[in-house]
Structure 1
Amino acid sequence: MTIKMEADIVVAGGGPAGLCAAVAAGRSGKKTVLVERYGFVGGMTSAALVYPWMTFHTLEGKQVIAGLAQEIVDRLQERGASPGHMRDTVGFTRTLTPFKLEEFQVLAVDMLEEAGVQVLFHSFVEQAHVEDGQIKSLTLATKSGPIQLEGKAFVDTTGDADVAFLAGVPCLKGREGDGKTQPMTLKFRMRGVDLAKVKAYMLEHPEEFYKRTPVGELPDLELTGVCGFYKHWKDAALPINRDQVLFFAGPGDDEVLVNTTRVQGLDGTDVEQLSAAEAQGRRQALQVAQFMKRHLPGFEKASISQIGAQIGVRESRRIDGVYVLETEDVVSGRRFADVIARSGYPIDVHDPTGQGVKSEWVRGDGAYDIPYRSLVARGVGNLLAAGRCISTSHEALGTTRLTPSCMSTGQAAGTAAALALDTGASLVDLDVARLQSILRDNGAILN
């Protein structure tokens, strides 16, 4: 028997974007339901151990992301679960933000409950029912049997544009030309790491590390991230198609999060290929951990303490929306009249087939705008996207997919959905100036 439920706003996907979308919608007074496939909030942050959050600032240190994203950091700091924004010792960005995952998961649920949001964990979107260009309901697969969840407005924060795809919305996937996506990564944590020894080695051998590493400042900085060990990696000749080791310190004093495995050529929206990626990623994780313990200074007593519940997916489907954010929009620091979020994170595209990472930094004041039109789906009038599946090119996704940006687009989407219901306007014809005013009142930085 199918269970019937209804809401004003349905948010599908409980990652950071979905969290912020649902909280924003709930705080607006709308009956909001958040649908999440796992038994916890956090999406890739929780399931795939995406850590730390990067970045709330430009390379020069100007904060360009705030609002709900900053509230989450502030409340984690109050709980002793984050030191706040710290200097990125990899040098790729100005700052990064460490946090304790378990504390974040509890805080996220607290914020949803405070906003009056109903959360359906262990629920998977199976079908989208569309009539006259509007989603009427979603069918969820659950332990209780199928649920038919009706809504007036929907926000797709699944990361894979699952709702949009099921609703027949035009979608993009991968890079232009061959459709190949950025590689997936299975991340893992290690404890027992002597970070002081790692730092000492970096100071003695700066040539073995990323060219932007702030070596001159390193003696006075707490080590937060490391990219390099080029010689060690090359000599090991592991069957993993990348050219360096990347890991981030914390949150424990002897703990690191390793972001080094690389699974290429598989589609994160194909169940058989995703299954193969999970198996390949776990094999690689053990290989990398063994290599680090045997060959890297500071890892002699280290061991794996946690492996992600699932492989991290950088890129899959995204909507082909009213506006596709392009590479030049990002690197030129383009301003848009319908800006709903900003970001200072550079383009960061892990090569779908090669070893390297393509990087381009934002010119001008170091930040670019994300326009509202990139959240608006075509063909379905009551659907917005937020997070990793907004409308971008393959290259521009290399910056919008990062967690703080996802939080910002999530807040914008949840706020927009509520505003549309308040005013009776369609999402495509929404009063963006009014939306911007509400976002600013709630802490978002739009200029």
Structure 2
Amino acid sequence: MNNTIEAEVVVVGGGPAGIAAAIAAGRQGVKTVLIERYGFVGGMSTAAMVYPWMTFHTDSGEQVIKGIAQEIVDRLQERGGSPGHLRDTVGFVHTLTPYHPEIYQVVAADMLREAGVKLLLHSFVDEVVVKDHLIEGVYVTNKSGRSLVRAQTFVDTSGDADVAHLSGAETLQGREGDNQAQPMTMKFRMRGVDLAKVKDYMIEHPEEFYKKTPIAELPHLPLTGVSGFYSQWKKANVPINRDQVLFFTGPADDEVLINCTRVQGLDATSAEDLTEAEQEGRRQVLMMAEFLQRDVPGFERASISVVAPQIGIRESRRIVGHYLLSKEDVVAGRKFSDVIARSGYPIDIHDPSGKGVTAAFISGDGAYDIPYGCLLSRNVRNLLAAGRCISTSHEALATTRLTPSCMATGQAAGTAAALAVLTKVDPADVAIAKLQEELRKEKAAI
């Protein structure tokens, strides 16, 4: 590898937001490089097994996230990698979208290649070169040594706002007051689960499950998610600070993804805290599996089939942007003239220190707008963010962090980054009408 790689748009972080951003930029015809630290793309959807994707729709069933995100689902369906959008049998949202992570990795890589994106795997950004509030390049370290990747516009889809942090851009972390973030979760899958038995138990014991679970419809719906088993959980007294069992079915018909471990009080941007979190998460996986096998109907013959390569991170750093999306904006279903994405996912705060989850639902038509100002760094002129590290409050992040929303903000950031290059302006000066026109051309629902 040469010591310098020349590009026009650089996207850092190959998760759902970064994949969408790089595809969007590449399709605009600009020279795009996507940098990813693992040997595969997918980010939290693959490395941390965050599953399923929730949600593309409002509570009334209107699809508010389309574009590249929907294209990915379509391509997965063609490959047998997703059944598409199904009803959420937890009842928290209208739909969820199961997907096969190994097929997703291949589909995403195919789409990146088709868009002309240069993908750089096993590469970690460890330095950002800034002059006069402009990023000139990022240094990556990998097996080939150290290289400078230069471009006109940069998109931070690292999840942890790493590029923003290294560039000196303003960032925030956690909730106001104590900077505590939502807990981390080590996800794992079990095979050999008798899902018919789980469903029968739910129909016979509705009081044991989340109040919005559509029990009456269960006989006619495929089981996609389960939240409850309250009495079993309470009686077992497992030392994990949460108040219910939560799992989702698939991809196989005897398989579930368990979202129950909870690692609190640690900072996902600290190497020492992350080291502790990874080990604690794996300890909790074994405790959780033992409890399920012993106490939960349908899990008697189940066993752990895979544990995520890394712990799942809900919240860490985020940029301070031209606009900070608030809880009030989300709950009111607020509309913005510079809308670049929409979402119908409610606020869903896993308590940073307590047992519970705090939810706040969206009024109006059931969707809120994400404005372009949330993607623009306030003090680094050629830096955009997408995915988990856009400019929001701690509360609003509890909805924008969800995968379909990350895909939607990724598509917008990648499109804007390319337009900034093509029109030779800073991202903040990209014509909103032109950006929205390009997004609609690519079937984004705005």
Letter of the 1:11 counterpart: V
Matches of 2:59 and 2:2, distance apart in 1: 52
- Asked whether the 8 Å contact 1:194–1:299 carries over to 2, the reply is yes
Matches of 2:101 and 2:246, distance apart in 1: 20
Letter of the 2:186 counterpart: L
Q: Equivalent residues in 2 for 1:400-439 (5 A)?
A: 400-439=400-439
Name the structure 2 match of 1:300: 300
Matches of 1:141 and 1:290, distance apart in 2: 41
Name the structure 2 match of 1:278: 278
Name the structure 1 match of 2:218: 218
Name the structure 1 match of 2:139: 139
Letter of the 1:350 counterpart: H
In structure 2, the residue corresponding to 1:396 is in which secondary structure?
helix
Deviations 1:356-402 (A, max 9, x none): 00101100000000000000001111000000000000000000000
Matches of 1:173 and 1:379, distance apart in 2: 17
Name the structure 2 match of 1:289: 289
Residue 97 of structure 1: CA displacement?
Answer: 0.3
Matches of 1:131 and 1:267, distance apart in 2: 30
Q: Equivalent residues in 2 for 1:365-444 (5 A)?
A: 365-444=365-444
Q: Equivalent residues in 2 for 1:169-188 (5 A)?
A: 169-188=169-188
Gap runs ≥5 in structure 2: none
Q: Equivalent residues in 2 for 1:75-94 (5 A)?
A: 75-94=75-94
Name the structure 2 match of 1:67: 67
Letter of the 2:207 counterpart: E
Name the structure 2 match of 1:46: 46
Matches of 2:361 and 2:105, distance apart in 1: 32
Letter of the 2:325 counterpart: L
User: What TM-score, normalized by structure 2, do the two folds share?
Assistant: 0.99
In structure 2, the residue corresponding to 1:190 is in which secondary structure?
strand
In structure 2, the residue corresponding to 1:349 is in which secondary structure?
strand
In structure 1, the residue corresponding to 2:263 is in which secondary structure?
coil
Name the structure 1 match of 2:253: 253
Matches of 1:193 and 1:82, distance apart in 2: 20
Residue 294 of structure 1: CA displacement?
Answer: 0.7
Matches of 1:5 and 1:79, distance apart in 2: 34
- Asked whether the 8 Å contact 1:2–1:146 carries over to 2, the reply is no
Name the structure 2 match of 1:108: 108
Deviations 1:407-434 (A, max 9, x none): 0000000000111111112111210111
Matches of 1:419 and 1:8, distance apart in 2: 11
Q: Equivalent residues in 2 for 1:196-345 (5 A)?
A: 196-345=196-345
Matches of 1:192 and 1:409, distance apart in 2: 37
Matches of 1:40 and 1:426, distance apart in 2: 31
- Asked whether the 8 Å contact 1:2–1:145 carries over to 2, the reply is no
Residue 2 of structure 1: CA displacement?
Answer: 7.5
User: What TM-score, normalized by structure 1, do the two folds share?
Assistant: 0.99
Letter of the 2:357 counterpart: V
Deviations 1:250-275 (A, max 9, x none): 01000000000000000000000010
Residue 303 of structure 1: CA displacement?
Answer: 0.2
Matches of 1:7 and 1:63, distance apart in 2: 35
Letter of the 1:90 counterpart: V
Matches of 1:57 and 1:95, distance apart in 2: 6
- Asked whether the 8 Å contact 1:14–1:43 carries over to 2, the reply is yes
Are 1:152 and 2:130 matched, yes or no?
no
Matches of 1:71 and 1:148, distance apart in 2: 33
Matches of 2:150 and 2:442, distance apart in 1: 28
Gap runs ≥5 in structure 1: none
- Asked whether the 8 Å contact 1:198–1:298 carries over to 2, the reply is yes
Residue 217 of structure 1: CA displacement?
Answer: 0.7
Deviations 1:313-372 (A, max 9, x none): 000000011100000000000000000000000000000000000101100000000000
Deviations 1:222-242 (A, max 9, x none): 000000001101111111000
Letter of the 1:81 counterpart: G
In structure 1, the residue corresponding to 2:180 is in which secondary structure?
coil
Matches of 1:352 and 1:327, distance apart in 2: 17
Letter of the 2:440 counterpart: R
Matches of 2:292 and 2:187, distance apart in 1: 14
Residue 141 of structure 1: CA displacement?
Answer: 1.2
In structure 1, the residue corresponding to 2:91 is in which secondary structure?
coil
Residue 102 of structure 1: CA displacement?
Answer: 0.6
Residue 123 of structure 1: CA displacement?
Answer: 0.4
Residue 133 of structure 1: CA displacement?
Answer: 1.1
- Asked whether the 8 Å contact 1:183–1:350 carries over to 2, the reply is yes
Matches of 1:371 and 1:416, distance apart in 2: 13
Deviations 1:14-60 (A, max 9, x none): 00000000000111111100000000000000000011000000001
Deviations 1:278-312 (A, max 9, x none): 00000000100110011100000000000000000
Matches of 1:169 and 1:425, distance apart in 2: 19
Letter of the 1:441 counterpart: K
Matches of 1:320 and 1:426, distance apart in 2: 17
Q: How many residues align structurally?
A: 446
Matches of 1:105 and 1:429, distance apart in 2: 34
In structure 2, the residue corresponding to 1:24 is in which secondary structure?
helix
Matches of 1:321 and 1:331, distance apart in 2: 20
Letter of the 1:113 counterpart: R
Name the structure 2 match of 1:352: 352
Matches of 1:52 and 1:187, distance apart in 2: 12
Matches of 1:400 and 1:390, distance apart in 2: 8
In structure 1, the residue corresponding to 2:427 is in which secondary structure?
coil
